[in-house]
Amino acid sequence: MRKVLVAGAAVAATCLSAVAVPAGAQAEPPAPKLTEERSSSTTTTPPSPPARSDSSVVSARAVIVTPKPPSQRTYAYGRHPRQRVDVYWRAASKSRKQARKQPARPGVLLLHGGSWRGGSKTGWKYFARRLTTQGFTVFAADYRLSGMAHWPAQRTDAQAALAFVKKHARSWNVDPRRIVVVGASAGGHLATQLGTVGTGAGQVRGVAALSPVNTPYLAYQDGIAATASRAQSSLRGAVIKLLGCVPSQASPACWERVDDANSATHASRGDAPMLLVHSQGDFVPVTQSTGLASALRGVGVPVRVKTVPGDLHGNGLMNDETVYPELLSWIRSRTR
């Protein structure tokens, strides 16, 4: 199986030039390139019960205190408006001196779904906040959509976002050697590409993908079948938009993109371990992951394919009571 070499250095140099980080900064993140969103603690106090004439009844006010939301800022990892990443973190210490003594934290890069033609990093907001309570610093990235640029622009952006995170990891006290990638649907496809293209495990410690479209050509074929659902037919159109060509009428250049977009074609020894999750009725069927899993196992890369009941898809899979606990456990195991 072959590797596709990506000009990562050139991409990173272009994208990272958009942000300057002060030398030696550790306790505080770099000055934001775009917007800054700071959160404060939220306290919700239920209204007092109505007064009672019975003096023997004593009323009380219950105070519910929610956890303080993490700090959040948005940064540019490139010049295009879609080349943006939200960072969520919790300060380890108010003292800069004490913060320097804190061990570096693991990081999680999140890639959103949307059939490569829609979606946003903000869809990860609540999951990102939840992960910060578990000791992770979280990065949720946007990327150019298929209506803006054809494949492999989406993978190039995911690589550039990862390069940005790793280059500036010290700014958030993150260990660049302990970063995992989590993606959903189309974002799951990009996540598995990060785990297989180039140096694989040399770039990320692991990949977790929810309903990943690991083989876009298979989705194209499923979408034309007589039994295809509306969602599968729509995904077929999304594949054509992503590739910028119709595979059944493909030129040699189109077939190269078809091949390159298949994560299994990049599988080789040293790729990142993976957790791949689908539901039994997912319109992105588990066969999208079993092929990749076979290719990875064939070269000695650990991979687990999990299937849950129902027809949940993408981020929605975390509504299954078994998925989030296993996902969190898997992320922890990969970032120790």
Query: Tell me, what's the pLDDT at 99?
Result: 55
Query: Tell me, what's the pLDDT at 67?
Result: 67
Query: Tell me, what's the pLDDT at 98?
Result: 61
- Could you read off the pLDDT tens digit of each residue along the chain, which spans 336 residues? 444 433 444 433 333 334 433 333 333 444 444 444 444 333 333 333 334 444 444 444 545 556 688 999 999 999 999 999 999 999 865 655 665 678 999 999 999 999 999 999 999 999 999 999 999 999 999 999 999 999 999 999 999 999 999 999 999 999 999 999 999 999 999 999 999 999 999 999 999 999 999 999 999 999 999 999 999 999 999 999 999 999 988 789 999 999 999 999 999 999 999 999 999 999 999 999 999 999 999 999 999 999 999 999 999 999 999 999 999 999 999 999
The reply to whether 48 falls in a domain is no
Domain total in the chain: 1
The reply to whether 17 falls in a domain is no
Query: Tell me, what's the pLDDT at 97?
Result: 61
The reply to whether 59 falls in a domain is no
Query: Tell me, what's the pLDDT at 93?
Result: 59
Planar angle of CA 243, 208, 210, nearest 5 degrees: 65
Instruction: Judge whether 116 and 173 are in contact, CB under 8 Å.
Output: no
Q: How far apart are CA 218 and CA 257, in angstroms?
A: 14
The reply to whether 13 falls in a domain is no
The reply to whether 11 falls in a domain is no
Which CATH number do you get for residue 197?
Answer: 3.40.50.1820
Instruction: Judge whether 284 and 316 are in contact, CB under 8 Å.
Output: no
Question: What SS3 class is residue 137?
Answer: strand
Quickly tell me which residue has 């990875």 as its tokens: 296
Name which of 254, 270, 256 is nearest 198 in CA terms: 270
Query: Tell me, what's the pLDDT at 100?
Result: 61
The parent domain of residue 261 ranges over 71-334
- Tokens found for residue 143: 């990327």
Beta strand 64-65 with 71-76: parallel, antiparallel or unpaired? unpaired
**Phi, psi angles (nearest 5°) of residue 228:** -65, 135
Planar angle of CA 211, 258, 292, nearest 5 degrees: 40
The reply to whether 225 falls in a domain is yes
